[in-house]
Each structure stands twice: as structure tokens, then as C-alpha cells.
Amino acid sequence: MKKNLKKNMKNVIKKINIQPLLKIGKNDCKPLIDKEGEIIRSSKKIDKNYRILICIMKGKKKFDDISFPYLYGNENLILKKLLIIKKAQEENLKYFYKPIRNTLNKDDYPDNSIFVFYDEHLEKALFMRFLEYIKNIDESFYREFYPKDETKEENIIKYFATLGMKYKLSFLKISDEELLSLLFYHKYIFFIQKELIKKYGHSLKDFQNYHQLYLYLKSKGYIKLFFNKYGPKIIKLIPDFIKKIKNHLMFNIFVEDIRKKEVKNFKDLSIFDLIDEYVPDYIDKKILWQNYNNLIKKTKI
């Protein structure tokens, strides 16, 4: 039995190499869908949350929210994730928990949703959260970004410029078309879905994929409306909105308050505790811990 255990541990160590794991494929840090609804394929060596973590460490993204620690899968996959966490600790990455919306308890945070960033990008990671914070303090300011009447063209442009800020701030580099594609497929198609049902008798569920949806919406004029008419106005408004938030009297105070009270260090995470609390029971946690320590001794992180 002991011989088999040692043999299995050696096999695990041979299979995992942290350096290829941390390499970025050309599409790994790009937006998921292009303008025509084609899925931009990324590598499948690790799940989305840890791929985003690598993108941040490689400087391709400034911040993002991820499910964490998300330690599911087979033993090899979990060990890869633990090695990436170890790398994040060495890189001195920071995080704060993403608050649950519409909760009675303002201190109630989910265990598995965090914003990840380097310290110098904390301010950028807090723009959208600041708007939620300011809503009850300065509603007139809040309504400049989230107007009540979302049916007017002017307000639609403001709404999508506000949503576009997050993407513009989070990516190191993102083209205008990539930004608009993100907004279109992540938000705008849901924004118009009631109109599609009412006017044409079609719902989003009627389409097998995004490209099929693109062709249909193009035939109805929605692609031209969003990308050609709304798009340039949205893109033009985003820098103005960023400047307006940054210049608010409360913004710097808010950022420093979050820095003092909520920002945490990956360095302070205990790998042992993460294994104990978040690894599923179908994995032998004791052996996993042993394998992890053997990997750390043999692997250059």
C-alpha cells in the first residue's frame, strides 16, 4: 500500500509543470464573443476563474471578479489550482469580497466571489462599487450614470457607457469593437428581449448560438443601431464618466476606507485551510496536502 502511494505521488509530480500552466494562449485573456457572435476559443488547461487569475498576474488584465477558491475537479486539477494560488501569493496579489446585493445584512459576503487586483489597481476595481455606495448619499450623481427612464436614447447610451467602464478599466488593452461586443452580448440582448417577443414573437431561447442570433438581429436593424449609432456615443462618453467619478469628493475617501477595512492579501491565505474547507470530500485531503508539499519542493513557482 505504501509503495503504491509513493508511486502515485511521483506520477502526480511528473505530470504537473507550473511554467506551461502559467503561459497565456493568444485568446486566453480576450473577450469571449466577437461582434458576429463567434465564440473566441481559449485554452482548456484550467477553468475560467484561474485563467483570469493568470491573466492578472501576466498583466493582461488589471482586475476582475472570480469564483474562489473553486477547488473542484480531480486531484491533478486541484493541485494546479493550488500552485496558481501559491504564485498569486508570491506576486502579492490583493482581493476583497464582492458584496451580496439586496441583502438585509450589509456584512453578509459570499464565500466564493472576490475581486482580484494588484494594489496599484484598487482604485479602478472600485469604480462600479462606488456608484452603488453613493446611491443613498448623492442620488442625483448616481442617476447621471443610471437614469430611471431607460427607454430614452440618451439614457440608454449613459447606461451602457456606465457598464462599459468596468471593461475599459479592467482590460490592459481592449479595442472599441471588442468593448461594444462585450456590452452587446452580455447586456444589450437582454435589454431588448421583451421588445423581440412583443414585436417579432421571438425570444433569445429560439436561437441555437450567438452567431445565429447575430444574423437575426442584423436583419432587424439591431446590429446597426447598437454598433453604428449607439456605439460611438458610448465609447466617447466612457472617459468622461471615469473622470467624473474620480473627481467626486467622496471617491478617494471611499477607496481608502475599502483599502483599510476590506482589502486582503493572498499571502495571508493558508493553503492547508483552503484544502480543508473547500476541497470536496471525494478527494483524500491528507494525500492532497502531501502531494502539494512535494510539488512545492520540486517546482519552481
**pLDDT in single tens digits along all 301 residues of the chain:** 444 444 454 445 455 566 677 888 888 998 989 999 999 877 777 888 999 999 999 999 999 999 999 999 999 999 999 999 999 999 999 999 987 554 434 444 345 799 999 999 999 999 999 999 999 899 999 999 999 998 899 999 999 999 999 999 999 999 999 999 999 999 999 999 999 999 999 999 999 999 999 999 999 999 999 999 999 999 999 999 999 999 999 999 999 999 999 999 999 999 999 999 999 999 999 999 999 999 888 776 6
Strands, sheet with 113-117, edge to edge from the N-terminal-most edge strand: 63-67, 113-117, 94-97, 264-265
CA atoms within 13 A on the CB side of 125: 27
Radius of gyration of the chain (CA): 22
- Residue-level pLDDT at 7: 47
Grid cell for residue 172: 490592459
Cα(66)–Cα(116) distance, rounded to whole angstroms? 8
Give the 3-state secondary structure of the chain: CHHHHHHHHHHHHHHCCHHHHHCCCCCCCCCCECCCCCECCCCCCCCHHHHHHHHHHCCCECEEEEECCCCCCCHHHHHHHHHHHHHHHHCCCEEEECCCCCCCCCCCCCCCEEEEECHHHHHHHCHHHHHHHHCCCCHHHHHCCCCCCCCCHHHHHHHHHHHHHHHHHHECCCCHHHHHHHHHHHHHHHHCHHHHHHHHCCCHHHCCCHHHHHHHHHHCCHHHHHHHHHHHHHHHHHHHHHHHHHCCCCHHHHHHHHHHHCCEEHHHCCHHHHHHHHCCCCCCHHHHHHHHHHHHHHCCC
- Residue-level pLDDT at 125: 96
Grid cell for residue 283: 478527494
Give the 3-state secondary structure of 33-63: ECCCCCECCCCCCCCHHHHHHHHHHCCCECE
Smallest CA-to-CA distance from 50 within 16, 81, 26, 77 is with 81
Cα(189)–Cα(174) distance, rounded to whole angstroms? 21
Report the 10 Å Cβ neighbour count for 44.
8
- Residue-level pLDDT at 15: 54
- Residue-level pLDDT at 3: 46
- Residue-level pLDDT at 23: 83
For the chain, the domains span 1-122+263-301, 139-247
- Residue-level pLDDT at 299: 72
